[in-house]
């Protein structure tokens, strides 16, 4: 009991809390109204940025259950068919986690290009699903706009995440992750 | 020897972790697929969950969306200063005209009231409005809905009409205690009974997602002019009669496209019409969209 409340553990929990709070905050930004005209055409997809970064650098931080919950909340709040974003997010995390060793050995530019491709594929899958549902395959240009905006934001988000990442304990301390 | 055991153990735990991740991902993918299937079979089955989750997240959404709205207000304030002078002159002349119209309206109102009395006409009850702020906007190319920070506790009910300052924007499709969801009239699932002003031609306004909404079920050669106003017909008793929607903007092969009065990309506040409906028209619960 006393060990749990040791200053080392409390500091670790605080650092994990900051990481999770940032993830939650960026996720909420994906849900809010920007109050900017035509923002729906080119708003960044923060949740994909979160999933991509942490799937490469700290997969334990976002478990499949966590990703599932984020996808479910996303669909429930935005009024989408429930489960579609959970499928997209989990699949993206799965694929990136499988390729994380490759990305870890690559330059930052390759990581950024990898993100652009991931974001594009997720948005394409989303567009394909909703277009099939609506029976009209238009608005594909929005996929490009969103990919471009998200890709521009990715390096900035990476800087922020890197600060958090450095404060986190090494992966070996799994009991607290 | 010791290091080999350590390496083996590390490699075993790593593969177990990946396997665990894969198994976990597979399980949650299956659950998500099942939920998606359920949503397709019965779209309303999770509406309770939608309302509850929206309620839980409403304070966080409201908090996070506020800086964006303040920023948008500030930007529009700065960029608008140049146009303020011209707008002021325009408003002054408009105000002059409206004053004349106001006098005419007062005269017509008095005349209308006396005629209604003479005919013993049953006048529809007065409408009340609930003003709410938009906290989440899921309006993308596929789904056009808004989440507002007023709900059942404020008098917002399912199927009530929602207006911006300029005209009708949609209807309430889900109402929780403190948050509600509006289906915009541009959404592909939106159908609103309307009337073409002047001709009294009835039609249904259907949302088209990315394209402007169009009028459906109009007789052939209805001969509607461009610029004609479209208002709610009140048919079915869901919406009150006469809510302004938009004007006919284009005619394409017999299809009339409507330009809504409200700017759907710039909705910050909405007014929900709390109209007391004729109980004879409503029998039981209305099905959702």
Contacts of B53 in chain A (CB under 8 A): 73, 76-77
Contact in structure between A68 and A90 (CB atoms under 8 Å) = yes
pLDDT at B20: 52
pLDDT at site A38: 64
Residue A119 binned pLDDT confidence (cut-offs 50, 70, 90): very high
Q: Which domains does chain B have, with CATH numbers?
A: 130-275 (2.40.10.340)
Structure tokens at B160: 């009530």
Residues of A in contact with B69 (CB under 8 A): 33, 35
Structure tokens at B35: 């939920």
pLDDT of residue B258: 92
Q: Which of A28, A33, A40 to mutate to test the interface with B (most CBs of B within 10 A)?
A: A33
User: Which candidate from A68, A73, A78 shows the least CB-CB separation from B32?
Assistant: A68
B168 pairs with which residues across the strands? B163
Q: For A23, list phi and psi in degrees, rounded to 5.
A: -60, -45
Report pLDDT digits (tens) over A29-38.
Answer: 988 877 776 6
- pLDDT at position B123 is 67
DSSP type of residue B253: T
- Which of B27, B136, B181 is the closest to A33 by Cβ? B136
Judging contacts by C-beta atoms under 8 Å, the chain B residues touching residue A40 are: 137, 139-141, 265
Q: What is the pLDDT of residue B12?
A: 42
Average pLDDT over residues B55-79: 81
Contact of B136 with chain A, judged by CB distance below 8 Å, is answered with yes
3-class secondary-structure state, position B172: strand
* Nearest residue of A to residue B181, measured between CA atoms: A79
The answer to whether the CB atoms of A35 and B32 lie below 8 A apart is no
Most B-contacting residue of A27, A45, A73, A77 (CB-CB within 10 A), to test interface: A77
- Per-residue pLDDT tens digits for B246-272: 998 877 777 889 999 888 877 888 999
Cα distance between residue B119 and residue B112, in whole Å: 11
pLDDT of the residue at B279: 47
Question: How large is the average pLDDT for residues B182-210?
Answer: 88
3-state secondary structure of A149: helix
Q: What is the pLDDT of residues A69-79, one digit of tens each?
A: 999 999 999 88
Can you give the pLDDT at residue B119? Answer: 84
Q: Chain A within 8 Å of B61 (Cβ-Cβ)?
A: yes
State how far the Cα of A120 lies from the Cα of A36, in Å rounded to an integer.
Answer: 23
A-contacting residues of B 162-181, CB under 8 Å? 174, 181
Say what the pLDDT of residue A40 is: 65
Shortest Cα distance from B216 to chain A (angstroms)? 18
CB contact set of A28 (below 8 Å; sequence gap of 6+)? B57, B60, B61, B64
3-state class of A2 per DSSP?
Answer: coil
The gap from C-alpha B2 to its chain's centroid, in whole angstroms, comes to 67
Q: Do A71 and B26 contact (CB within 8 A), yes or no?
A: no
Segment among A138-152, B124-138, B195-209 with least mean pLDDT? B124-138
Per-residue confidence (pLDDT) for residue B141, from 0 to 100: 65
**Gap between the Cα atoms of B207 and B189, Å rounded:** 7
Closest CA to B273 of B148, B184, B170, B141: B170
Q: Which residue has the tokens 């799937």?
A: A55
B256's CB contacts (< 8 A; 6+ apart) are: B214, B215, B218, B224, B248, B250
Q: Which of the two residues, B248 and B237, has the higher pLDDT score?
A: B248
C-alpha span between A49 and A47 (Å, rounded): 5
Q: Where are the domains of chain A?
A: 45-165
Q: How close A6 comes to chain B (CA, Å)?
A: 28
How many Å apart are CA B272 and CA B158, to the nearest integer?
10
Instruction: Specify the pTM.
Output: 0.77
B206 CB-near residues (< 8 Å, 6+ apart): B190, B191, B213, B214, B215, B216
Residue B139: the pLDDT is 65
Question: Which phi and psi angles does B149 have, rounded to 5°?
Answer: -90, 30
Q: Do A78 and B143 touch (CB under 8 A)?
A: yes
Q: Per-residue DSSP letters for B69-122?
A: HHHHHHHHHHHHHHHHHHHHHHHHHHHHHHHHHHHHHHHHHHHHHHHHHHHT--
**Positions of E strands within chain B:** 127-137, 145-148, 161-163, 168-175, 180-184, 191-196, 201-208, 211-216, 229-232, 244-252, 255-260, 269-275
Residues 6+ apart with CB under 8 A from B241: B124, B195, B231, B232, B233, B234
- Shortest alpha-carbon distance between residue B10 and chain A (Å): 10
Short-list A20, A22, A30, A29, CA closest to A123: A30
């Amino acid at each position: 009991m006393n060990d749990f409340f040791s200053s080392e553990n409390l500091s670790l929990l605080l650092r994990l809390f900051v990481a999770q709070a940032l993830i939650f905050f960026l996720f909420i930004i994906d849900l809010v109204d920007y109050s900017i005209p035509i923002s729906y055409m080119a708003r960044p997809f923060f949740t994909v940025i979160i999933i991509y970064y942490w799937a490469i650098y700290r997969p334990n931080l976002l478990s499949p259950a966590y990703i599932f919950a984020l996808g479910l909340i996303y669909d429930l709040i935005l009024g989408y068919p429930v489960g579609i974003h959970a499928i997209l997010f989990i699949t993206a995390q799965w694929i990136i986690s499988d390729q994380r060793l490759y990305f870890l050995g690559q330059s930052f530019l390759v990581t950024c290009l990898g993100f652009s491709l991931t974001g594009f594929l997720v948005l394409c899958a989303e567009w394909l699903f909703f277009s099939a549902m609506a029976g009209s395959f238009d608005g594909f240009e929005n996929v490009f706009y969103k990919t471009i905006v998200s890709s521009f934001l990715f390096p900035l988000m990476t800087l922020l995440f890197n600060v958090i990442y450095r404060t986190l304990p090494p992966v070996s301390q799994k009991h607290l992750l | 020897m010791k290091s080999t055991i350590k390496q083996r153990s590390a490699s075993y735990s790593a593969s177990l972790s990946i396997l665990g991740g894969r198994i976990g991902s597979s399980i949650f993918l299956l659950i998500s697929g099942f939920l998606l299937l359920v949503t397709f079979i019965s779209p309303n089955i999770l509406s309770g969950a939608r309302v509850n989750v929206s309620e839980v997240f409403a304070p966080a959404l409201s908090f996070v969306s506020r800086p964006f709205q303040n920023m948008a207000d500030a930007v529009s304030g700065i960029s608008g200063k140049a146009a303020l002078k011209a707008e002021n002159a325009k408003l002054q002349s408009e105000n002059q005209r409206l004053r004349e119209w106001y006098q005419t309206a007062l005269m017509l109102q008095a005349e209308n009231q006396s005629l209604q009395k003479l005919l013993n006409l049953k006048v529809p009850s007065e409408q009340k409005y609930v003003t709410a702020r938009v906290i989440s906007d899921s309006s993308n190319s596929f789904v056009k809905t808004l989440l507002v920070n007023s709900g059942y506790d404020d008098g917002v009910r399912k199927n009530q009409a929602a207006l911006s300052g300029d005209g009708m924007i949609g209807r309430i499709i889900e109402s929780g205690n403190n948050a509600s969801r509006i289906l915009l009239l541009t959404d592909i699932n939106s159908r609103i009974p309307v009337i073409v002003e002047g001709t009294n031609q009835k039609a249904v306004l259907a949302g088209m997602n990315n394209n402007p909404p169009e009028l459906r079920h109009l007789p052939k050669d209805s001969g509607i002019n461009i610029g004609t106003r479209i208002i709610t017909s009140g048919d079915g008793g869901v919406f009150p009669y006469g809510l302004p929607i938009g004007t006919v903007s284009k005619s394409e092969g017999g299809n009339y496209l409507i330009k809504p009065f409200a700017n759907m990309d710039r909705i910050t506040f909405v007014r929900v019409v709390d109209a007391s409906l004729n109980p004879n028209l409503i029998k039981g619960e209305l099905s959702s969209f």
